[in-house]
A = this chain, B = another copy of it.
């Protein structure tokens, strides 16, 4: 009898008890992080006003495996392990011999992968006696996840939400408030960075980079407050490796190892968490043919069009300098609905792996991603986040190539979450109002001129 299992459940005792840190396994070390004032490598003490020391140590740790505290594991157990699905219905609709699997993070209470690090960050801050956290959010996935994490550990939270998303997604703000957080649109009058931008452009749609500036400024201005970042940094990707570690065990349960792994990238945390435990095998030489594809929007083509250079993580230039593919920290991406992908930079680990040729990147247009999302919804049921639809698009393209070639490749899709708070975007698409944005070449060139020189 054909095995028709389409959901692979790990038992809770098999949740990883350690996160996997790729830093010691990289073939070349990651470029150093530089101090924004001096241009010299940052020290842990430089970061102490923003982060608890345990997270700072994780950022630079030489340890391959880092224990997940029991308090964090206890919270993970509210929704983890998440399920690995086999997409039989999608395969059938595409008439492809490809085997499509997806690891679905949308069953977390916040609806995405973000709580994996939110909970850990709230825990370490609590442990260090921090009473309040400031953060930014793009589409609202991160802000709502941290709101939940802070609710669990009794920490006050203020969220600066990218203005356009704040207006497009009122329900994400309500989620944050349900979990007890405060949320304001960015640019806001609450910080100097926000006020400066509002003076320049009162209708500014905001950007992740700007919202980061506001949250960092807030945290630096108060002794009881730390800052928290939902993507980009090494320790964030570290926490997200639970996704890839669980997926590896679940792919084994399915008797498969992926030929291609596909995920969307904004700051890189979801896909970083998925790909890191797999790219380890490629670095070790065990899986030389493994393809790992990062998918980004053509309107914000960081990996496919940006230079590899030192840049700030935020608009105002308050963060340390990271070596990354970047469109320039002054770049204001077009208002596409995949708010979580509207970021000028990218996780240094992802950039480094791309530079080393261990992973690849591609960019897709907005309309094509929604078309793919509708196909997914009408076959696999799930209405996916616009960010995830980027990865679904390329998954479908690769599956159709298999139909052409007759190859039964195994594809693993990193499905970052549902689109229940993105229905206005689906409305735009279904009513024919959604448009594509070309790569804003001139604006990017202008923004790149702002790159810091060191």
Contact = CB atoms under 8 A, between A and B. Distances in A.
Contacts of A115: 381
Contacts of A372: none
Interface of A: 4-7, 9-13, 74-75, 77-80, 85, 88-89, 107-111, 115, 148, 151-152, 170-171, 174-175, 177-180, 374, 377-383, 418, 420-421, 423-424, 426-427, 430
Contacts of A374: 178
A382 B177 contact: no
A106 B6 CA distance: 18
- Closest 5 CB pairs between A and B? A109-B381, A9-B9, A171-B423, A420-B420, A174-B423
B378 A151 contact: yes
Given A78-B381, A148-B381, A178 B426 contact: yes
Contact of A7 (B77, B151, B180, B418): B77
A85 B108 CA distance: 13
A115 B380 CA distance: 13
Contact of A4 (B74, B109, B151, B424): B74
B13 A79 contact: no
Given A78-B85, A109-B383, 8 more contacts: A5-B13, A9-B11, A111-B420, A115-B381, A170-B423, A171-B424, A174-B430, A178-B383
Contacts of A178: 374, 377, 383, 423, 426, 430
B78 A174 contact: no
23 contacts: A4-B12, A4-B74, A5-B13, A6-B12, A7-B77, A7-B78, A7-B79, A7-B80, A9-B10, A75-B89, A78-B380, A79-B381, A89-B152, A109-B381, A109-B383, A151-B377, A152-B378, A152-B381, A171-B171, A174-B424, A178-B426, A179-B377, A418-B420
B6 A175 contact: no
A432 to B, nearest CB: 12
B109 A107 contact: no
Interface centre among A88, A381, A426, by most B CB within 10 Å?
Answer: A381
B378 A180 contact: yes
A79 B106 CA distance: 12
Contacts of A380: 78, 109
A51 B149 CA distance: 47
Contacts of A6: 12, 77-78
B78 A89 contact: yes
A378 to B, nearest CB: 4
Contacts of A5: 11-13, 77
Contacts of A174: 423-424, 426-427, 430
A419 to B, nearest CB: 9
Contact of A107 (B107, B179, B424): B107
A88 B79 CA distance: 12
Contacts of A109: 377, 380-383
Contacts of A427: 174, 177
Interface centre among A109, A115, A379, A418, by most B CB within 10 Å?
Answer: A109
Contacts of A88: 74, 77
A17 to B, nearest CB: 12
A101 B4 CA distance: 29
Contacts of A382: 109
Nearest to A172: B423
Contacts of A85: 78
Contacts of A108: 381
A251 to B, nearest CB: 16
Contact of A423 (B74, B80, B175, B418): B175
Contact of A175 (B12, B110, B171, B383): B383
Nearest to A149: B381
A431 to B, nearest CB: 9
A175 B425 CA distance: 11
Contacts of A379: 152
A38 B171 CA distance: 50
Nearest to A427: B174
A75 B11 CA distance: 23
A12 B426 CA distance: 32
